[in-house]
Amino acid sequence: MKKIIITIDGYSSCGKSTLAKKIAKDLNYVFVDSGAMYRAVTHYFLKNHLDWTIPEQVVDAINHISLKFEYNAQNGTSDILLNGENVEAAIREMIINENVSDVAAIKEVRDFTVAEQQKNAIEKGIVMDGRDIGTVVFPNAELKIFLTASPEARVERRYKQLLAQGKQVTREEVRLNNEKRDYIDTHREISPLRKAADAIEIDNTHLTTLEQEKLVMDMVFEKLKN
């Protein structure tokens, strides 16, 4: 059966990964969380006390970073490995949320991560979520989704997700972090977050996860028919 590339881009906390995981599972495709790669690079900088505003330190860091995804049978998804170490939990901490957009704006970092992301697509059958997947990473993807939701819904979802993970955080902190990341992600010089001209926009504020999954799966079947 024909396999396609599906991209899911959008602002922070819109539920991109949740949707991408479900679609990948339904189709038996590979799911790639590109944000996890920027988070892992940020973790590397922080852990090694490196300064990402110093170009030599950025180049040195990238030369020492290897990123891989490993299947996690417990939750049926993939965990990210940074130089062989599973950093899936560490990259979801607030300290990473606070710094990742600055790191993701650096050209050398993006050159590295985009090249890694593109390696995944040799065989197609992939669902990747992020900010520039439909515009830069896979401009020829067969199906591009641009996911949005109201700022209030996004804060509420991320807040509940962090609480469920046992994190100490307030709604206000989540709101400020979402706003800050969206601002940096849409205003950076290199591949800023944009809706691709041929992307389909879905506002999921009032959709259940099941409803949005069905909506996208209908789009997938339509693409596979043609």
Binding residues for ligand DC, rule: CB under 6 A, are 12, 34-35, 38-39, 100-101, 104, 130-133, 181, 185
Please say whether the beta carbons of 29 and 125 come within 8 A.
yes
Taking the complex as a whole, how short is the minimal distance between the CB of residue 191 and ligand DC, in angstroms? 7
Residue 100 or 162 having the CB closest to ligand DC: 100
Taking the complex as a whole, how short is the minimal distance between the CB of residue 23 and ligand DC, in angstroms? 16
Please say whether the beta carbons of 95 and 103 come within 8 A.
no
- In this structure, the number of other CB atoms found within 10 A of the CB of residue 33 comes to 23
Taking the complex as a whole, how short is the minimal distance between the CB of residue 141 and ligand DC, in angstroms? 13
Residue 27 or 174 having the CB closest to ligand DC: 174
Residue 22 or 39 having the CB closest to ligand DC: 39
Residue 11 or 221 having the CB closest to ligand DC: 11
Q: Hey, what amino acid is at 176? A: L
Q: Is 81 helix (H, G, I), strand (E, B) or coil?
A: strand
Residue 80 or 221 having the CB closest to ligand DC: 80
Taking the complex as a whole, how short is the minimal distance between the CB of residue 114 and ligand DC, in angstroms? 8
- In this structure, the number of other CB atoms found within 10 A of the CB of residue 176 comes to 13
CA distances from 31 to 146, 151, 196, 203, 226 (A): 17, 26, 20, 21, 23
Taking the complex as a whole, how short is the minimal distance between the CB of residue 205 and ligand DC, in angstroms? 18
List residues bridging with 143 in a β-sheet. Answer: 6
